A and B are shown apart, each in its own frame.
Chain A
Amino acid sequence: MQINYSSKTLKSNPIWYKLKQNKMTWVGIIILALIVLFSVIVPLFSPFDPNKIDLVNKFQPPSSQHWFGTDEVGRDIFTRILYGARLSLGVGILIIVIAAAIGIVIGTISGYIGGIVDTIIMRFVDMILAFPNLILAMALAAVLGPNLQNAMIAIAIVKIPVYIRLARGEAMLLKEKLFVKSAETFGINKGLIIIKHIIPNAISPVIIQATLDVGDTILLIATLGFLGLGAQPPTPEWGAMISIGWTYLLTYWWYPVFPGLFLFLSSGALNLIGDGIRDVLDPKSAR
């Protein structure tokens, strides 16, 4: 059913319209915005130093002074969570941006060029994907040495193949599209076709996947932190906090629960945003 719209009306922005329709995306955006806002503002005004040891006040339950209580050396958990937010969110996003960028370049080349290049790349990808994410990241982080930077490299390596696969699949579909075929008839070289046609058209599923993956990556960093392979104490990283707090769950429940809650909220929020972006970018969901 085709309806003729004049070109004028199409100037109004459909992306905005679709975003407005999607309430859950807004829930995600608001949660994430609040976490980011707090993590920027609160440390400026907080009377507490995230790393200062105050043994007199250890294991204080939540109160008007220490909103989320204090930990085993008397640090304010609320302050540490918000410092941790800068770290966890920042690192999570950075890892994914790097992994997605590398993945889309390799993936589109692999998918578009095909042949032997594709075979070799895909063998590698299959190899990496054969291991469970976490195990491989753990092994890599352990080999590289336990610190945050190495944990980031390990997670990025684990994440890249997903994007290669995704971008390759898109590239293989796009290769058959008439606009790519017609670019081939002009006689312009393949690299240019990849840059001009394949990457721009393959990018939206990658962005969607990336948004969904940030939450997962934060969890991975946290898990590595939890296992002692990521950020080292006393860095206020969520995973590390949960990992230590875990042992106190029964006696001082607030210690692991609040960092866990923030982890849950931010990865949930990112998933909602990812879903929203998918709806916005997917032309088939157009109303």
Chain B
Amino acid sequence: MKMKIKKFFLILSIVVLLTGCAEERVLEDLGIITTAGFDKGEDGPEVFGTFITYKFSQQLSNVNSPIHSSGRTAQDAFHLAFAKTAKKLVTGQLRAVVYGPDLAKEGIWPHLDTLQRNQFVSDLVYITVSEMPSREVLNAQVFEEAPNVGIYIYRLLDQVIGKEEIVDSSLHEFIKNYLKVGVDPITPVLSIEEDRVIVTGLGLFQDDRFIDTIDLHEAFYVRLILDEFKAGELQIELPTENYRQFMEDFEPSPEEETFEITMQQIKSASQISPKDSGKYHFSIKIRFEGDIRELTKELDLESKEVIHMLEKDMAKKIEENISKLLEKTQELNVDSLGFGTFWNAKFKGDKKLTEEEWRKEYPNFQFDIDVTTEILRHGITQ
């Protein structure tokens, strides 16, 4: 017994001593990349990379100094950046990737594939597109309390997605939507305003090619169809005409043909189902409820009539907006809302859409939109 134990510890200690083998990545020696931006290089097929890293020093942390490098591919650009910093660049804490518009329009799948293959990159990395070259976005000098602009972008997206303004756009979601037949990926679009990074809307992709942007207003409807709201917010314009009789302080001012209504605490649920009628015909049912928070005109909200009218008009308006959005996607031929998957989930065999059919047929898809709204409360005042 004694011999065995001795033997065991001998072996153990030998193994331990033998192994300086495991590759060390000591925290403070690393250039931990938080956000990477990729642009098309000036000449030829080059990719121009911008990398934001942590700086572990309080004196330096307020200065934004991205590392730039270019290479044939994104991975190459990353590799070639090693000579531009004293720290070892690593991607394990990557939070967001920003693709410049030129690059995104050519297709980002090759770059995403390398990200996906890299086991150190989390699947929760945000994939974004920028309106201007990403190096300009990442050069923003204002990033609040965040240690660097990369973390600022991450917190910004976290906050915006958490507030249910736009849909989630992690690496996993993007790849899933890209690889699935019947749905196209969406990403947030970043821009720069007064030297700070902002989210301006959603980028619509056809496969991996960036096609167009929709603004945050329209983005609301994307989310409304795709996802549930638990506590969203919506601003909507309604025509003044019908409500004249209920307006207490109505002053005839012909130029104000519409008034605005803001809803909050929105809960919604949507249901998309293909109709089996040979044609590609879908019904979209949306249930929508929330509280009124703000009206630009004073209305007599105690009357049930007004509430009913508001509900009806809002539903109509939402339906209109949705169909406008859908028309836009059909014009661009991007099925960002994934109607193809709903079709494929219902039908098998011949009726199933292949990739080509879906691309070809999507502009001809027809939609029945049916929105029911309900106003639950109207603020804390009558």
B partners with A: no
| Residues of B in contact with A (beta carbons under 8 Å apart) | none
